[in-house]
A and B are shown apart, each in its own frame.
Chain A
């Protein structure tokens, strides 16, 4: 049970953009370099993010990407749904076949899959990009202290 590379890399790239933007556009190649992801692949990811209204692009020599909204307004759930589709632990095919399901399948769906999906979506929608950026700084802060000791 894994998220795809698109979701994983896309989320990392969004945190990178939030950390490094500071009001200016960030070149895709600089994100690619810091994250160790190919620029080609990031272009695909950012094209999806742009269409979903999560980032804005500016063309030209000083061009690049910027977040479309403040990090505190961007829920993680929105980023992941844009990149992965609905956040669900079962296939859409399974969810669509409710009419033909057996009693056992009905119980497993309502007691297990629906509960897992609810928890997953609640978690992803309770956190924003700002929370991930804050955690990132905290993580680096701890590391620096350890180095000095």
Chain B
């Protein structure tokens, strides 16, 4: 059970955007460069995040992307669900229309898989982009201190 590269790289790009958006909107090119991914790939991810109302795009010469809301109002759960779909360990628990398995309703393990999904959702819904931003600033301060110390 793995988070795909889309979810991993997408979250990285979004945190990069949050870090640099204090200076106004951020160009796709600069995010792609800093994250070491192709511009086309970041664009693909940002189209999804824009459709999900997590980021907004600004057109024009000084254009680029900004967060649609304050970073304390965007949860990691929202971002991962937008990019990955529901964090379901098995397909049958998110099938809303009709059961895809004939064992639905008498399955020995369905309850367990539901609690896995609920547990993972609780974790990611409790973390905001602001939390990651704070962690980044603290980590960076420590790293910067290390460099000064060596000099």
Interface string of B74-89 (1 = CB under 8 A from A): 0010000000100111
Work out how many contacts link A and B, with CB atoms closer than 8 A: 110
User: Contact at A127–B112, with CB atoms within 8 Å?
Assistant: yes
User: Contact at A90–B103, with CB atoms within 8 Å?
Assistant: no
Chain B residues with CB under 8 A of A139: 106, 111
**Chain B residue with Cβ nearest A140:** B106
- CA of A11 to CA of B109, assembled, Å: 7
Instruction: Kindly state whether residue B71 has any CB partner on chain A within 8 Å.
Output: no
Q: How large is the interface on B (under 10, 10 to 19, 20 to 34, 35 or more residues)?
A: 35 or more
- CA of A16 to CA of B107, assembled, Å: 10
> Which residues of B are at the interface with A, using a C-beta cutoff of 8 A?
1-4, 7-8, 11-12, 15-16, 19, 35, 76, 84, 87-91, 102-103, 105-109, 111-113, 115-116, 119-120, 122-124, 127, 131-132, 135-136, 139-140, 143
- CA of A112 to CA of B11, assembled, Å: 10
User: Contact at A103–B136, with CB atoms within 8 Å?
Assistant: yes
User: Contact at B119–A119, with CB atoms within 8 Å?
Assistant: yes
- CA of A127 to CA of B119, assembled, Å: 13
- CA of A83 to CA of B143, assembled, Å: 40
Instruction: Kindly state whether residue A149 has any CB partner on chain B within 8 Å.
Output: no
One of A1-9, A44-52, A55-63 at the interface: A1-9
Instruction: Kindly state whether residue A40 has any CB partner on chain B within 8 Å.
Output: no
User: Contact at A90–B3, with CB atoms within 8 Å?
Assistant: yes
